[in-house]
Amino acid sequence: MEKINYRLTLLSSLIISPRSNLALYRELGEFSTEWISDSVYLKKDKLRVIYPFYQYGEYGKYEEYVSGNGAYYLPGSSIKGALCQKDLMVDDVTVPAEAIVLRNLQKVQYLKEEKKACQEPFLDHVGVEMVKKGVVLNGECYIDNLEKFKELIGKANRTAKKRIGRMRKRLLRLEQKAYSDKLCGVFHEVAEKLECVAENDNVFLLGGYKGLFHSMEVETDLPETEGAVFLDPETMLTHGLVKIEII
C-alpha cells in the first residue's frame, strides 16, 4: 500500500466527541469554572457539563486539559468514514491543545413558531470542546495508490456539494418565512457563505452537529421547519467543513 500525506484546513469548527459517558460533570468535581475563560461563545457561569474532544489516556479533571496536558487527536476512523472507503487505512491525527476551544452549541430554535424562533445557545449549561476554524492539521493514510485516494476525495466532495446544496435550499426557504428580520438575515448569510464553500473541489464534511436534515444525502419530504439548524457562530457556517489537500 502507498503512504499518502495530506493536510486538513478547517473552514468551520469541528465537533467529534467520544461517548456520552465520558462527559465531565461540575457537580462531581470533574471541573471548576475557575479554569475556564469567559467568551462570547460560552456562558461560563452556567456550565454544568462538558463534552470533551477525543484524547489519549484517561479522562481526568478538566484543569488537566486546559493546563496543556490534553493529548487531543482526530480519530482516523472518523476521516475514513467521511471518505466512505473501507480499503483505506488512516492514522489518528494529532490536534494541538491550543487548537481546542470550549463553547456552547448554537442552534436556531423554535422554527415552527415564527414569532419565537431565534438563534441562541442550545442547552447553555453544556459546553462542547471543538477544534476551532482555521486550524491546519497534517495526517497520513495508506491506500493502493495516489489516484485512488484522489478519487475518494472527489467522491467525498461531490457528496458534500449535494448536502451543502440541500442545506442552502432549506435555508433560503426558511428566509422567506415570517421570522424576524435578524433571523432571516442569518439564513441569508449562511446560505451565501455555503455557496462560496461549495465552489471548492476539495471540501468534505466531517464530524457531527449538523442536524438530521443537513446530514442526509437524499431529498426528503420533511418540511423545512423540521429538525435542527446548528451553526458555528464564528464563521456562520455549519460545523465540520474541511478542505483536504495532498502534500
Residue-wise pLDDT for 186-210, tens only, equals: 999 999 999 999 999 999 999 887 6
Lowest mean pLDDT among 88-102, 120-134, 188-202, 209-223: 209-223
Residue 77 buriedness (CB in 10 A; 0-12 / 13-18 / 19+) = exposed
pLDDT value for 31: 84
For the segment 209-215, the average pLDDT, to the nearest whole number, is: 62
pLDDT of residue 213: 57
Position 73 scores a pLDDT of 94
Pick left, alpha or beta for residue 29 (phi over 0 → left; psi -120 to 50 → alpha; otherwise beta): left
Distance between CA atoms of residues 14 and 235, nearest Å: 12
Q: Helix, strand, or coil here: 207? A: coil
| pLDDT, tens digit, 9 for 90 and up, residues 17-69 | 876 668 888 888 888 888 788 788 998 889 999 998 998 876 666 666 665 56
For residue 183, pLDDT over 90 is answered with: yes
The whole-number average pLDDT for the span 207-231 is 71
H-type alpha helices, the chain: 62-64, 76-83, 146-175, 181-197, 212-215
Q: Which three cell numbers stand for residue 56?
A: 489519549
Instruction: Give the pLDDT score at 60.
Output: 65
Residue boundaries of the structural domains of the chain: 2-105+121-141
